[in-house]
Structure 1
């Protein structure tokens, strides 16, 4: 067949042909790949909405509104005697506010949408024998990591995706943090610290049967700029919570000279006491409270209605940000009474940015790049 002139299908071949032939827009084509790679019920449902045109329809509605406002301006310029431009400007300002509100809502849904889609990189950190591997097995509901009474059993990073309520955690069990002369264990400690650098959540474990020491202090200072939940394990064997709670409180209220150079959100985290949960992993105590705490850190209040659709593509988010910037320029132009011709330029820039999302104004190079990430064929 190939000898007769046929060729092998390229990645995304059939979705790309459907897009180029007008059978689906670019967001629907992207949803095909999202459906194939969906790892949880949220990703599946969100991608299905996108495939069915929910997001496309929202973008088209915004583009229609922009064209309508552009038409009002051009009509007033062509026939100033019969078209009241000042009245149109009042209407336009109200419509711009409505469009910006909708765009802001979509942009703000991105961070939560990405968390729901891809999961939260979660590193379990602590000294040896604090229960890190036991916690991984408990959350995974199966034996994923070896558990022994010997310190230093875990030498490498053990990764597992686990469901916690509506969220997926990309959970990483790591080597116990301590000074060691063992070359292999030292490599494991280095890996653990490296994984914690870009973690979205750190579960910091302490053993209540052991007093805090210099290593405990180092661990707290190491993680205090991250989202952290502190777990005080073995509460069934010790009731000495006050010692650890006062130690942690002191570590977080003690301002470090280096904090002044950090971004504001990291500085606030470093000075705000994190959630502290007494638990017993062997008895399963504290796990439900841990799950609720994770949800409260990463998801909106359950009393707030959930979004109909969550943005999960950085391409879509960036295009919406450019749209927002252009519409803000239009608003500012209305207030400062700039020439109406300049308003139409910014309106059409917003229109073009929205067109990039659905593929009506997008270059061949970007189309090729998008479909090159698809599975073979598809």
Structure 2
């Protein structure tokens, strides 16, 4: 468990990934970080050097040289943790890093726990809790869009919106609290009509943030894109073409795919989870029937559906019947007319009137570029991805906003029922509490431990 309060310990950890590499970085933070490294560093006296400088030398244990290193010096409060921080760049041998860390431990440091550097940064006021969580999201980002969202949150975009909401509520809460001090005079300092307008405005802003969570969650974990269609439509061939590898078994025998096959690819900076499914048809085969049932389950959870059909053997009327049976109200989808290389001009022309249609040949890898562009356009059509809008990606933040909204609704009901100031103040304080939990202005030991123990050691 990470200590819940700041300590005078100097902590050390490997800040780069474990394993062999050209360079490894060992990070130390705390009041003794500089003298501790100075005691084993043969080079310039680090205590006498300015902050944000690099120094070449050797790390020695007695007369034995353990490695040639470059030491980066960051003196508090102008450092990540706002403490004195030293980063030792050494050769990336696991044996060397182990020897150096053992030496620093022997000199008085202790091993850092997961997330302890970032927790110290939070406790020292470097940034708030929402920004600290964005650090973990930034490390985990695997596409241009998730990187962009994490960067905005780490730089305080989301926090600024929450703090602005909280500041407005604090003003009214203070006015109502003032009324309680003058309760015998029966004076109203807080304009009730103004409070109602503020609550309504805040609820609209919170509603927008809550709605963004669905898309934010999708982007964070990958856009669940289900490839569906009749047996032998070419679904597995399409999956292999999109991934550019032989992920799924391809056969002319209908019903070859009997289970869900899933893999990921990044298109246009967005991570997609492509899910190949069993062909949709009535079957007496027990195993295939289970696969069809799982296909229907995946369709219910899909963010996007790619419905594939064989353009050489399907009529427009048959396609409409298949789509009606599929029942995808409100689910973004594309219709993929496969095997266009084998179709007649008349067959292709009969489908040209349909919206969201892409002609392709999965087997020949024709039309994949058009499919990718149409897929990206479908995702980008979601207004959460347009402009500079804040997107909520963290479940804890989402739950905090939900509780805030519920508390604000209680304030409105209290105004409707003519409740006295003390009751209104209680509901406003609850909403302030939940907003404060998001940014870390209000915390508990369990909350901090739950957040920071999920970080990697060294961060």
Range into which the TM-score falls when normalised by the shorter chain = 0.7 to 0.9
SS of residue paired to 1:10: coil
Is 1:277 equivalent to 2:357 in the alignment? yes
Q: Deviations over 1:261-286 (max 9, x none)?
A: xxxxxxxxxxxxx9662522236348
1:327 to 408, 413, 417: 408
Q: How far off is 1:154 after superposition?
A: 5.5
Is 1:208 equivalent to 2:311 in the alignment? yes
Q: Hey, what does 1:150 align to over in structure 2?
A: 252
2:148 to 45, 65, 86: 45
Is 1:221 equivalent to 2:302 in the alignment? no
> Does the aligned pair in 2 maintain the 1:75–1:83 contact within 8 Å?
no
**For residues 166 and 60 of structure 1, what CA distance do their matches in structure 2 show?**
30
**For residues 248 and 202 of structure 2, what CA distance do their matches in structure 1 show?**
54
Q: Hey, what does 1:233 align to over in structure 2?
A: 338
Q: Which runs of 5+ in 1 are unaligned?
A: 246-273
TM-score (norm. length: structure 2): 0.63
Q: How far off is 1:91 after superposition?
A: 2.5
- Structure having the higher strand fraction is 2
- Structure having the higher helix fraction is 1
Q: Hey, what does 2:446 align to over in structure 1?
A: 365
Change over 3 Å in CA distance of 1:288–1:278 after alignment to 2: closer
Q: Hey, what does 1:376 align to over in structure 2?
A: 457
2:370 to 288, 292, 296: 288
Q: Hey, what does 1:338 align to over in structure 2?
A: 419
Q: Hey, what does 2:41 align to over in structure 1?
A: none
> Does the aligned pair in 2 maintain the 1:232–1:276 contact within 8 Å?
no
Q: How far off is 1:163 after superposition?
A: 3.7
Q: How far off is 1:207 after superposition?
A: 1.2
**For residues 197 and 100 of structure 1, what CA distance do their matches in structure 2 show?**
30
Q: Deviations over 1:321-365 (max 9, x none)?
A: 111221222223223321011111011001100111012222211
Q: How far off is 1:224 after superposition?
A: 4.1
Is 1:28 equivalent to 2:109 in the alignment? no
Is 1:350 equivalent to 2:454 in the alignment? no
TM-align CA RMSD: 4.0
**For residues 427 and 289 of structure 2, what CA distance do their matches in structure 1 show?**
57
Change over 3 Å in CA distance of 1:38–1:210 after alignment to 2: same
Q: Which moved more, 1:316-325 or 1:6-15?
A: 6-15
Q: How far off is 1:217 after superposition?
A: 7.2
> Does the aligned pair in 2 maintain the 1:43–1:117 contact within 8 Å?
yes
SS of residue paired to 1:124: strand
2:233 to 130, 137, 140: 130
Q: Deviations over 1:98-134 (max 9, x none)?
A: 3223222222221222233322111212344322233
Is 1:63 equivalent to 2:144 in the alignment? no
SS of residue paired to 2:122: helix
Change over 3 Å in CA distance of 1:137–1:342 after alignment to 2: same
**For residues 210 and 304 of structure 2, what CA distance do their matches in structure 1 show?**
22
Q: How far off is 1:155 after superposition?
A: 6.7
TM-score (norm. length: structure 1): 0.75
> Does the aligned pair in 2 maintain the 1:232–1:279 contact within 8 Å?
yes
SS of residue paired to 1:85: coil
Q: Which moved more, 1:146-155 or 1:64-73?
A: 146-155
SS of residue paired to 1:168: strand
Is 1:113 equivalent to 2:216 in the alignment? yes
SS of residue paired to 2:134: helix
Q: Which moved more, 1:107-116 or 1:81-90?
A: 81-90
Q: Which moved more, 1:349-358 or 1:218-227?
A: 218-227
Change over 3 Å in CA distance of 1:180–1:143 after alignment to 2: farther
Is 1:99 equivalent to 2:202 in the alignment? yes
Q: Deviations over 1:22-72 (max 9, x none)?
A: 332211110110000001112112211221222222222222221210111
Q: Hey, what does 1:262 align to over in structure 2?
A: none
Q: Hey, what does 1:316 align to over in structure 2?
A: 397
Change over 3 Å in CA distance of 1:340–1:146 after alignment to 2: closer
> Does the aligned pair in 2 maintain the 1:355–1:361 contact within 8 Å?
yes
SS of residue paired to 1:36: helix
SS of residue paired to 1:161: strand
Q: Which runs of 5+ in 2 are unaligned?
A: 1-101
**For residues 120 and 368 of structure 2, what CA distance do their matches in structure 1 show?**
52
Change over 3 Å in CA distance of 1:48–1:210 after alignment to 2: same
Q: How far off is 1:177 after superposition?
A: 5.4
